[in-house]
């Protein structure tokens, strides 16, 4: 196992303790999001982040994360993107249960004054996590920085 900054490269069958979702390419169904993987950055509360996911200026969006049943938690830093709209937006995390049904695990309601904070969500060693967002305008953006699956 080789450690490189925030990313863990694995060889063989060992599952890393945590893996960066963006750099590992585990995201799919993601057309309404922008991704950052070190080449550029986004800003939340005047702090730059170069790894993460930003909602585009859309009414709502969904993305999925392939977890392969190997991880128990999803963690990310959540916040309002500086210099974007001020409407309220909801972010909901779902996990796919053993019966093939998506179960809501956590919903966070955010507005422009939402403090940047670390969010940790239990995902029950699921195969797939789904994250949805919605808003009542198209100018408000939120970011998920440093998105990790944790064993």
Q: What are the tens digits of pLDDT across the range 6-21?
A: 444 444 456 678 999 9
24 touches 113 (CB < 8 A): no
More confident call, 130 vs 138: 130
- Quote the pTM value: 0.85
Question: Mean pLDDT across the stretch 130-136?
Answer: 84
Q: How confident is the model at residue 140 (pLDDT cuts 50, 70, 90)?
A: confident
In the beta sheet, which residues pair with residue 47? Answer: 44
CA nearest 5: which of 56, 53, 63, 51? Answer: 51
Q: How confident is the model at residue 111 (pLDDT cuts 50, 70, 90)?
A: confident
Question: Mean pLDDT across the stretch 48-60?
Answer: 84
Q: What is the pLDDT of residue 13?
A: 55
Separation CA 30–CA 52 (nearest Å) = 13
More confident call, 34 vs 56: 34
Compute the mean pLDDT over every residue in the chain, rounded to the nearest whole number.
Answer: 86
């Amino acid at each position: 196992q080789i450690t490189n900054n925030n990313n863990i490269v694995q060889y063989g069958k060992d599952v890393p303790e945590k893996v960066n979702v963006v750099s590992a390419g585990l995201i799919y169904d993601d057309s309404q999001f922008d991704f950052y993987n070190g080449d550029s950055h986004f800003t939340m509360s005047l702090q730059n982040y170069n790894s993460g996911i930003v909602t585009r200026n859309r009414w709502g969006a969904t993305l999925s994360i392939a977890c392969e049943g190997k991880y128990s938690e999803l963690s990310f830093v959540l916040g309002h993107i500086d210099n974007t709209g001020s409407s309220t937006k909801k972010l909901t995390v779902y996990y796919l249960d053993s019966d093939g049904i998506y179960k809501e695990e956590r919903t966070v309601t955010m507005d422009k004054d939402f403090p940047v904070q670390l969010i940790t969500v239990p995902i029950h060693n699921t195969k797939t996590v789904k994250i949805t967002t919605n808003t009542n305008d198209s100018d408000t953006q939120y970011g998920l920085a440093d998105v990790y699956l944790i064993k």
